[in-house]
Structures are given as structure tokens and as C-alpha cells.
Structure 1
Amino acid sequence: MIWSKCKLVLSAWCLVLGMVALSGCGVYSFNGTNIDPAVRTISIQTIQNNSPTGPAFLTQRFTEDLKDYFQRNTNLTLVPRDGDLQFDGSIIAYDFSPTAIQQVDGVAQAGTNRLTIQVKIRFTNTKDELQSFDQTFQSFGDFPATQDVATVNNDQTAVRRITTNIITDIFNKSVANW
């Protein structure tokens, strides 16, 4: 009898503590976002390609992929400017360099090539200025030495794998608070 009363009291306390813990976290969803209910809109300006070696298509593809990612993973309405959440920035590095140098017949050559992309993002949360940031995000991909930068640029999925990692990091930093 005493044991069943203890279990009942313990269960009630666990329920209360769980509700208190969740109420302090803002709005949480199963896709990992933690967005204040007052935030309803998002604006993403064109992410300019300021890297001297980046391909011309990168500006539009990165910007559209960033917009698509937020639209798929949040209920925010995309607006042209002055959103509750605002993103702007630029691609600052698109570097293709040899890695894993190896000796072949006494000659040093690349075993693989690495493409590194860096994107500087300024994020403004107009509802909570403490959430705003200005940060550089980076990701890379390794490719066989037989693939040069032109081959990688023409591969529809190669560059997108790298930029998707950056977009995921931007999303996590801005609305998932990771």
C-alpha cells in the first residue's frame, strides 16, 4: 500500500518536472528546431560568391538550397526582406588543393584532391538579439587525384554534398541552438 502511494507521488513529480523542463525550452519540434512562437517569417538574401575561384553557379545554387532547407524543415514563411529571422552573407573561399601527397616513381603527387568551401553568414534574430551571430562555416570533400576542379564543378552532386553540410550547420546554429 505504501509502495503504491510512493509510486503515484513519484510519477506525479516526474510529470510536473517534465512539464517545467519543456516549458522553459520555447517551442520544440521533432525536426530539432527551437523557434520562438513569435518568429513567423524568414528572409534570406542572395549569398554572394566572393571567392576568386568559385564557379558562377554557386551563388544561386547555394542561396536556393538554403531557402529550400529552411522551408522544408520549419513552418516559417519566406519573405523577400525584413523577416523575423534574417540571413545574408557570402562565399569567401572555394579552394581546391592536393592532399595525401604520395611518391610515384620518385615524383611527389597528390593522392587525393580536397575542395574546401567557406561561407560567412550574418544571422539576425529580430525577436531575440542574443541569438544573432556573424560566423564562418566550412566543409570539404575529398576527390580522387584523377578529378580536377573542372570535373568536380561539373559533377552535380559533388559540390552540393559540401554545401549541404554547411547549410545544415547554419540551420543548426540558427534555429536548433546546437
Structure 2
Amino acid sequence: MKKSHYILILISSFVLNSCSVYNFTGTGKIDAKTYQVNWFPNNSELIEPGIDKIFTLTLQDLIQNQTNLRLVKNSGDLTYEGEIIDYHISPMTATADQQAAQNRLKIRVNVRFSNKNKEADDFEKVFEFYYDYPASQQLVGSTKDAAIKEIFERITQDIFNDSLAKW
């Protein structure tokens, strides 16, 4: 009976020690305590009011919810900055009478990431994603909100993966 207790304690200690190296978000051990997300201005040719604020807050929230890092206004160990460089709507598929059947909203964001503690992790990269919607709908109201939400969720997750999860 005593032998089984020792084995249980050994397995438990191994499992608990392993948790400090990896967590369920995939970030592993982060060599930073703080992060900052600078404003991402909308520098695209087609200006959609408010998406700069939505994107900046979406990125801040994602990092806040998936790490133990503390958000700061300046001098963060990790810094995210950049700009929205493209907001573009284009027809994707056509009907038999040469009318658009589906449109696509595509958004591209240029991101500069820097890690004060590990400069080898620094990068500048363009992230993009799209949302297809029926051509019979206007890109307004709930359609626009759903499109922007889905695009920004995907882009911010890709940024998170490249900067912290290393996937």
C-alpha cells in the first residue's frame, strides 16, 4: 500500500511541474510580465469609421484573456503596433446572368511586434482574413458587424499564435 502512495505522489508532482511549462492556451513560459497594444490607425483607401478602435480593443482583449500578462500604456515588455492597410470589398462569384452572387470583405493589418526580453522574437508581418456574404445584402448593420468581428477574431488569433504561441 505504501508503494502505491509513493507512485501517486511521484506522478502528481510530475504533472504539477509540467503545468508551469505549458498552459492550455499554448503560450508556454512567457519571458514577459507586461504588454502594450498601440493604436492601429486605419490607413486603407476605403475608410470604415471605428474599425481602428475595434481592432485595437480586440487584440488587447485576446491577449488579456489568454495570458497572465498585464496591459500597460507604455514601456511594455511586449509591444504590438501597426496599421490597418486594406479594407476591400469585391465580388466573388457570379450568377448565370453575370450578376454578383457573393461579395467578399477582406481586411489586411500590418503588425510590428517587439519583445524587449528576446529580440529574436521581433517581427513585422501582414495578417489578413476575409468574410463572404450574399451580394443581395448590403454590408451594413448586423452583416457588417458580423463580418468585422469574424475577421478580427481570426487576425488577432493569428497574431497571438505568431507572437506568443509560436505555432
* 1:158 matched to 2:151: no
Aligned to 1:10: none
- Give the counterpart of 1:64 among 57, 77, 85: 57
> Percent identity at matched positions?
36
Offset at 1:142?
0.3
Structure showing greater Rg: 1
What SS does the aligned partner of 1:157 have?
Answer: helix
Kindly report which structure 2 residues correspond to 1:86-97, keeping only aligned pairs within 5 A, or say none: 86-97=79-90
Match of 2:5 in 1: none
Q: Does residue 1:46 correspond to 2:39, yes or no?
A: yes
Give aligned pairs, total. 154
Which of residues 138, 143, 164 in structure 2 aligns to 1:148? 138
- Matching of residues 65-84 of structure 1 within 5 Å: 65-84=58-77
Structure 2: gaps (5+ residues): 1-10
**After TM superposition, where is structure 1 displaced by more than 3 Å over at least 4 residues in a row?**
152-155
Structure 2 Cα separation of the partners of residues 163 and 71 of structure 1: 16
The one-letter code sitting in structure 2 at the alignment partner of 1:167 is T
CA contact (8 A) 2:105 2:147 kept: no
Counterpart position of 2:118? 128
Alignment-mate amino acid for residue 161 of structure 1: E
Q: Give the TM-score of the pair, scaled to structure 1.
A: 0.79
Q: Does 1:115 align with 2:109?
A: no
Q: Deviations for 1:34-79, whole angstroms, at most 9, x for unmatched residues?
A: 343x310001000111012131110111101110111000000000
CA shift, 1:27, in A, is 3.5
Aligned-residue RMSD, C-alpha = 2.3
The secondary structure found in structure 1 opposite 2:104 is: strand
- Name stretches of at least 5 consecutive residues in structure 1 with no aligned partner: 1-14
Residue 7 of structure 2 aligns with which residue?
A: none
Distance, in Å, in 2 between the alignment partners of 1:82 and 1:58 is 25
Structure 2 residue 32 is the aligned partner of structure 1 residue 32: no
- Indicate yes or no: 2:163 matched with 1:170: no
